[in-house]
Amino acid sequence: MIQLRVLHPEFAAEVEGLDLRVAPDAATIEAVEDAIARYPVLVLHGQRWLLSHGDILCLEDIEYLKFRALVRTPEWQAAFLARPLEERRALARTRGSSRTSTTSASVLTTTISDLREQLAI
């Protein structure tokens, strides 16, 4: 189990007892998720971490990557934000209802088909 040493009560803690060379158990995953939610800054001495949204590693899903590039342009974002709020909310509800899996992301990392696993160490 990991231990947290608070470096600043509002935003920073040092994580002890976490070895990223071995697969974490469910309790460790939950403890890390709780730490991330509580402290924006986590210090992990001697270990390198990159906390990233998983989609950056999904290099095989070409259609998604095209969509991702499109929606990140200032022009697309401006056009989307110009739409009425209720229309944007309706689109968000549609997106939310399209998610069929309730499996946690930590479990999915072993089954995501478009993830280049060599990048997710």
Spatial CB neighbours of 87, under 8 Å, sequence gap ≥ 6? none
Domain ranges of the chain: 3-43, 57-119
Name the E strands within 9-120: 12-16, 41-43
* Cα gap 83→90, rounded to integer Å: 11
Q: What is the pLDDT along the chain (121 residues), one digit of tens a residue?
A: 889 999 988 888 999 998 878 888 889 888 988 888 888 888 887 776 666 666 767 778 888 889 889 999 999 999 999 999 999 999 888 876 654 444 444 444 444 555 555 555 4
Question: pTM of the prediction?
Answer: 0.42
State the CB neighbour count (10 A cutoff) for residue 24: 15
Chain centroid to Cα 37, Å, comes to: 12
State the CB neighbour count (10 A cutoff) for residue 95: 9
Return the bridge partners of 4, or none.
Answer: 15
